Homo-oligomer: A and B are copies of this chain.
Amino acid sequence: MKKYNFNAGPSMLPREVIEATADACLDFEGSGLSLMEISHRAKNFQPVVDKAVELVKELLDLPAGYSVVFLAGGASTEFCRVPYNFLEKKAAYLNTGTWAKKAMKEAKLFGEVVEVASSAEDNYTYIPKNFTIPADADYLHITTNNTIFGTEMRYDLDSPVPLIADMSSDIFSRPVDVSKYNCIYAGAQKNVSMAGVNIVIVKDEALNKVSRQIPTMLDYMTHVKNGSMFNTPPVVPIYCAMKNLEWVKKNGGVEAMAQRAKERADMLYTEIERNKLFRGTAKAEDRSYMNICFVMNDEYKELEADFLQFATERGMVGIKGHRSVGGFRASCYNAQTIEGVQALIQSMKDFEAQH
C-alpha cells in the first residue's frame, strides 16, 4: 500500500533526494567508498558543503555579510547557543508555543528575558500582535512556525531590535527578508534533511559582541571561521540537505514552495471547514501552511480513534495530533504532494459519508 507521510519531523523528503542519499551511501560519486566512510576533509566532500552553503544563500537571497553554517544538536541546542552568543543584558521573546517557551527557558540562564506577548492562555491558537518590543533588547526571538499548535508567522516582523528566528519547520517554504534577522536557525529534519544537522544563518557583525567567554563549540564564530569544519560535521545529513536544496531550486525555489504550500493548505483547511466531523484548532489568520491541525467536532469526539484507524488503513502516516492539542495534524512540508493531501481529504470525506 502506498504510504502518505504526514510526520511532523523527521518528515517526508522527496523520493529523489532519498534515493540520491542512499546511492551515495553505497558509493559516493564513483569513488568506491561510501559517503558514510569518507573524510569530511576529502576533496570530493568540500564541494558538497560549498554547494549547500551556496544554495542556502541563493534560495533565501542572503544579503552580503551573512554566513551559513551546518551544526548539530537540533534546534534545542540553538536555544542555548543563541543567548550564549547574542544575549548581553536583555532579550525579548515572543511566546507562541512549546518551542518558543523552551527557547526562552535557556535564555534565562544568560540574562534578563522579557516575554513581549504570549498566547498561552488560549493554548497557543493564535500569534500575538501589537505587542511592544523593548528598544533596549539585544534581540527579539520568534518561532516562525509552531509545529505543535499549527500557527505560523508568514511575515517578517517590523522590530526596533534585530530578529532571531527559529525557522525549524518552515525554512525554505517561503521568501524571507533576511536583513531583518541577526540569526535564523533550523533543525533540518522538518523541511530540509534527515535528522542530524542544523542550518544556522548569522549576521557576521552581530557576532563577538557579548562579554562572556563562550565554549568553543557553542561559539558561532568558531564555525563561521572554519566553514562548518572545525570538527567533523554530520557528513551524510549535510549531503542530504544539499540534495534537497537542489530539489527546491529545481522546483522553482522558495516562491514556488510558498505557492505549493498555500495550495495544499487551502485544500485541507477548506475540507476541514466543509466537513461536518472536523474543525481546525488555530485562528484562521494565523494558520500554518506547514502543520494543519484539526480535531473532531464536539458531537463526534468519540470517533477520533476510529478516524485515525480509518486513515491509517488508507496509507496515512503520522496524522495523530500532538498531545497538547489532540486530534490530528497533517504536516505538509516542501516535499508533501498534492496527491498525499488529496488522499487525506478523500479519507475525511469517506469517513464523513459513513457517519
Residues of chain A at the chain B interface (Cβ within 8 Å): 1-3, 5, 7-13, 18-19, 21-23, 25-26, 31-40, 71-77, 79-80, 84, 102, 105-106, 109, 187, 189, 193-197, 213, 215-218, 230-237, 240, 317-318
Contact = CB atoms under 8 A, between A and B. Distances in A.
Given A22-B23, A76-B216, 13 more contacts: A8-B39, A10-B40, A18-B25, A18-B37, A25-B25, A72-B72, A74-B232, A80-B215, A84-B215, A195-B234, A196-B196, A196-B235, A236-B237
A7 B106 CA distance: 38
Contacts of A197: 196
A215 B25 contact: no
Contacts of A187: 231-232
A44 to B, nearest CB: 11
A13 B318 CA distance: 33
Contacts of A216: 76, 79-80, 102, 105-106
A13 B37 contact: yes
B236 A195 contact: yes
A38 B217 contact: no
Given A3-B33, A36-B240, A236-B236, A76 B217 contact: yes
A18 B26 contact: yes
A236 B233 CA distance: 14
Contacts of A21: 25, 36
Nearest to A74: B231
A323 B77 CA distance: 32
A33 B340 CA distance: 14
5 contacts: A8-B39, A10-B235, A13-B34, A73-B73, A187-B231
Given A76-B230, A232-B189, A233-B195, A109 B13 contact: no
A187 B234 CA distance: 11
Nearest to A236: B194
A109 to B, nearest CB: 6
A7 B33 CA distance: 11
A5 B33 contact: yes
A231 B189 CA distance: 11
A236 B196 contact: yes
A215 B82 CA distance: 12
Contacts of A233: 195
B39 A318 contact: yes
Contacts of A80: 215-218
A136 B82 CA distance: 35
A36 B13 contact: yes
A102 B232 CA distance: 14
A217 B218 CA distance: 11
A3 B33 CA distance: 7
